[in-house]
């Protein structure tokens, strides 16, 4: 093979352009900016589908943030001391009527008094 002949030079140029074309095809397929012959880049234009997907993604992120805020509020309600209000009401129902007149006596929630 003649390394200095025109066939070798043309083969090198063909391989280089072929690699450049394959590189740009892969970049375009995955949404990256394309390169021109002088190293400059061309940004891909956004299609209607891309804009729709971006707006849908933004809406879903907003919904997720709202749901996360609601979950935090619900966790506070459940773990708050005020959640045991139903237990306190039931403890008042279980006490005899004569002791309800006394004030300042703590309720024994979870313990039932024996009547008798």
Report yes or no on 23 lying in a domain: yes
Report yes or no on 112 lying in a domain: no
Give per-residue pLDDT as tens, 76-114: 877 776 657 777 777 777 766 555 455 555 566 656 555
Report yes or no on 90 lying in a domain: yes
Q: What is the pLDDT of residue 116?
A: 46
39 has a pLDDT exceeding 80: no
- Total domains in the chain come to 2
Report yes or no on 105 lying in a domain: no
- pLDDT band for 75, please (50, 70, 90 cuts): confident
Instruction: For residues 104 and 99, give the distance between their C-alpha atoms in angstroms, rounded to a whole number.
Output: 11
Is the same domain home to 40 and 6?
Answer: yes
Highest-pLDDT range among 2-6, 24-28, 79-83? 24-28
Instruction: For residues 92 and 103, give the distance between their C-alpha atoms in angstroms, rounded to a whole number.
Output: 12
Q: What is the pLDDT of residue 71?
A: 92
Q: What is the pLDDT of residue 105?
A: 55
pTM: 0.36
Is the same domain home to 70 and 29?
Answer: no
Is the same domain home to 32 and 5?
Answer: yes
Report yes or no on 35 lying in a domain: yes
Average pLDDT for the chain: 77
Q: Which domain holds residue 63?
A: 46-96
Percentages (nearest 5) of helix, strand, coil residues in the chain: 65, 5, 35
Report yes or no on 114 lying in a domain: no
Is the same domain home to 20 and 52?
Answer: no
Report yes or no on 71 lying in a domain: yes
């Amino acid at each position: 093979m003649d390394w200095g002949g025109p066939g070798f030079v043309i083969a090198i140029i063909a391989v280089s352009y072929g690699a450049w074309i394959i590189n740009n095809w892969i970049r375009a397929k995955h949404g990256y900016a394309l390169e021109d012959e002088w190293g400059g880049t061309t940004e891909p234009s956004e299609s209607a589908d891309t804009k729709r997907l971006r707006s849908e993604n933004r809406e879903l992120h907003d919904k997720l943030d709202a749901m996360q805020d609601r979950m935090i509020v619900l966790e506070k309600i459940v773990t708050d001391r005020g959640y045991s209000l139903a237990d306190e009401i039931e403890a008042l129902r279980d006490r005899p009527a004569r002791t309800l007149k006394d004030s300042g006596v703590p309720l024994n929630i979870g313990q039932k008094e024996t009547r008798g």
